[in-house]
Amino acid sequence: MQKILLTLMLVSLPAFAKIGDRLALEINSIPYTQRQVESYLVAKTSITRNVGIAGNAFDLTDQDWPQALTVFTDDMVILQEAQRLGSFHPADALVNEALGIVKDKLPLTADMKSAIERLDLDDRTLARNLSYVLRVEAFRRSKNRQTTTVRDPNAPSVVMAQKPRWLVDLTSRSVVRQFKGIHPYQRYAAPLRAPAAIDVTQPVKVIEPVTPTGSRP
């Protein structure tokens, strides 16, 4: 069974309409922020047909948020495995082609354009997330050629309950923690001058928030 733990945070976030970045998940000891989650899902939604979220990934709601976190978690578990194996690196030309497709869609897709602006995604950050999406999808296609489908007991919805056996096995070996305060969903808005994007392959080394005295919660 996939291990999902709750990491305590001492300060609760007020229910503002928009917030700055915050820690969302820790997957196999690697922390990810809300901006990373949303940035990846925007990239994925921009080039794939079925993201696995019932709602609009460009305009998430609290109802969509559990599904969004599950999709991101599954994909990061796959990405980590691909990185561990050193496999499925997308060619630069393929990443550039995907970036070109996204940029061509921008004038015609208002909600995608709004999401990219809200998250302050420049071409470099968007291209990096697209490369992760392509790598994850290549890994999926390779594994799905020889697999069976089973029910995932941890899925947040019936739609997401059926998963390939290899993915259920992979996620069952992973330790996933959600930081307290990540629910309910609150819309992220980048500051006027956003900090440098956090690289998923080398995330900021912050595992848990600490108390004012320096002890772990």
- pLDDT for 215 beyond 90: no
- pLDDT for 142 beyond 50: yes
What percent of the chain has a predicted confidence (pLDDT) above 90? Answer: 61
- The whole-chain average pLDDT of the chain stands at 80
φ/ψ (deg, to 5) at 130: -65, -35
The predicted structure's pLDDT at residue 168: 92
The predicted structure's pLDDT at residue 38: 96
The predicted structure's pLDDT at residue 52: 85
Sign of the torsion formed by the C-alpha atoms of 138, 144, 145 and 146: positive
Distance CA 182, CA 114 (A): 22
The predicted structure's pLDDT at residue 49: 78
Structure tokens at 172: 């069952």
- pLDDT for 166 beyond 60: yes
The predicted structure's pLDDT at residue 76: 97
- What are the residue ranges of helices labelled H in the chain? 34-47, 65-85, 92-105, 110-118, 123-144, 165-172
- pLDDT for 13 beyond 80: no
- pLDDT for 194 beyond 80: no
- pLDDT for 210 beyond 90: no
Domains of the chain listed by start with CATH number: 3-187 (1.10.4030)
**63 membership: H or E segment, kind and range:** none
CA-wise closest residue to 38 among 58, 55, 52, 18: 58
pLDDT band for position 152 (50/70/90)?
Answer: low
Least confident segment among 9-18, 42-51, 67-76, 108-117: 9-18
The predicted structure's pLDDT at residue 72: 97
